A and B are shown apart, each in its own frame.
Chain A
């Protein structure tokens, strides 16, 4: 695994996180491929003997199971002027760390894992924290790394946030 590739992937993920915190959602959509998928399974507390059922599987219930088009729709929703859960907008900060390239499918396609820590400050004193792990499959298109699939694994089972109107 080259240091250069590691650097490129990290910088791609860091820049993408900044776009969210800067509320540049249209630009954020450009970080995804046209066929991108975005998936957050549902987690539950299970015994160690039952660990393979901790997360729902692809094709089962999910908190997000989105195509690129649905991501565009969610951005459109934010911009309608009546998306009250984000209008006035939340203040978010995305921290992305522990980036590791897990698999190199080809010179132009890799899967990277990272940890994330997202802070949301809302209205006066509302605060939410989302911590978890992501698996991002990235594909190089016209010299630029784009996200082709994002899997988001939250650490909470019962979400203590009143909604998930934030992108991960």
Chain B
């Protein structure tokens, strides 16, 4: 293949990256085997022995709280025959016993490290006591770390620390994850879409052009609910696009509409919107933020490769092959809210985004269709156009924020995502990637 897959000069992306099996195989090692991936929120596992299971790409993982209060991540595969040692989505346990031959692994780390093999049935007679338990524990995820309660893991021991990986994107995470006293809404939503995971990710990282078209019906519906006329922006809206090293990006809208507390009698949905804004009245929080961080109203962003952030949702788009993506969504709510707003936030967490979400229903339809379109044979050399705004996106580094472009509707985020994707696919090791990757400077 001589054509480049990502043409940053002209804003072109090859259709091949959305369906090609060989490219997907390389993504498994170079992207999902290497990057820091979102695993869980620490409030999902508050006590020793609490665990959830999830996937890092296609790799099944157990994320658990140990006796010392630390968070451990272990690959959910017995060292004897490879079975999953737990098949639950969540629970509480002291040990896991494989259902096939009974190899038993510690989970809480009371006397041994979590994941250590602590029992094999009839060990003395079957193995003559020769099995070295210390060598046959569950394989740990190479590195685990948290930021604002978000637990990330990487399968690559050479990956830089999470703080470096998130880098300047922490400026945005600080602005939105510190809003109030956030905890997790009970319930993890999971569903599958016949799409390549990148169509979901590139929508997350900065697609503000699709809203008025793809989500027109949802915008009309939300306006009707409020007895208002639907507002569709003409052209640009106030806001900025923050793009930081290692492929992270977010669009932030800065126009601030004061929250409305005059919800109509049956407007249960409406009570959630003021709830999102309560933090603005909390001086303890607002004092920590810069004027531009405080101006952020609405946002959609992506921690590379596949953590989508919108409202108070944390949404992972995990590939299961090039044509199928499993989405896992959890939601946060503000424990500082009134009992009523807390209840509203929990109950309506997935009403806008989620499989039944007024907005996200259309995304499923569109990404499915885009993935079909990407594999049309005679169009393999007809690249997709990601050139909106290309050539006029100048990075501003004026001290108000890390590297940003003062534009809200554009495709800079997408190109930024694919530049790093391309860098990661070409790099042989993390060291190489640390040296050779796009920096947020100059003009996109």
Contact = CB atoms under 8 A, between A and B. Distances in A.
A and B are partners in one complex rather than unrelated chains: yes
A84 B191 contact: no
B256 interface: no
B434 to A, nearest CB: 36
A40 B187 CA distance: 12
A133 to B, nearest CB: 18
Interface string A35-76: 000001110111101100100110111111101111001101
Nearest to B342: A59
Interface residues of A, number: 44
B354 to A, nearest CB: 7
B88 A59 contact: no
A164 B354 CA distance: 9
A50 B91 contact: yes
Given A42-B188, A60-B186, A163 B266 contact: no
With most chain A CB atoms within 10 A of its CB, the pick from B221, B267, B349 is B221
Nearest to B267: A69
Contacts of B351: 65, 70
Interface string B364-386: 11111000000000000000000
Q: How extensive is the interface on chain B, given as a class?
A: 35 or more
B192 A160 contact: yes
A158 B190 contact: yes
B114 to A, nearest CB: 19
Contact of B355 (A53, A70, A83, A159): A159
Given A63-B350, A70-B269, A40 B356 contact: yes
Given A42-B187, A45-B89, A74 B358 contact: yes
B331 interface: yes
Contacts of B355: 63, 159, 161-164
A163 B363 CA distance: 9
A4 to B, nearest CB: 35
A112 B3 CA distance: 62
A85 B190 contact: no
A77 interface: yes
A6 interface: no
Contacts of B87: 45
A61 B189 contact: yes
Consensus secondary structure, chain B interface: mixed
A157 interface: yes
A59 B365 contact: no
Contacts of A76: 220-221, 224
B90 A44 contact: yes
Contacts of B349: 61
Interface string A67-103: 1111001101110111111100000000000000000
Contacts of B166: none
A75 B409 CA distance: 30
B214 interface: yes
A49 B331 CA distance: 26
Interface in B185-225: 185-195, 213-214, 216-218, 220-221, 224-225
B268 interface: yes
Contact of A73 (B89, B221, B366, B368): B221
Given A65-B347, A77-B218, A83-B217, A44 B188 contact: yes
B267 to A, nearest CB: 8
Contacts of A45: 87-89
A121 interface: no
A84 B193 CA distance: 16
Contacts of A65: 347-348, 351
A61 B356 contact: no
Contacts of A74: 221, 358
Contacts of A84: 214, 217, 362, 365-366
B278 interface: no
A59 B221 CA distance: 24
A11 to B, nearest CB: 28
Contacts of B350: 61-63
Contacts of B185: 60-61
B188 A158 contact: no
Contacts of B268: 67, 69-70
A165 interface: yes
Contact of A163 (B190, B218, B267, B361): B361
12 contacts: A53-B90, A61-B189, A61-B346, A62-B347, A63-B189, A63-B350, A73-B358, A76-B220, A83-B362, A84-B365, A157-B190, A160-B192
> Which 5 A-B pairs have CB atoms at the shortest separation, nearest pair first?
A61-B187, A162-B364, A42-B187, A159-B191, A83-B217
Given A42-B189, A163-B365, 15 more contacts: A50-B88, A56-B186, A60-B186, A60-B187, A61-B185, A61-B189, A61-B346, A63-B356, A74-B221, A76-B221, A77-B218, A80-B216, A80-B220, A86-B361, A163-B361
Interface of A: 40-42, 44-47, 49-50, 53, 56-57, 59-65, 67-70, 73-74, 76-78, 80-86, 157-165
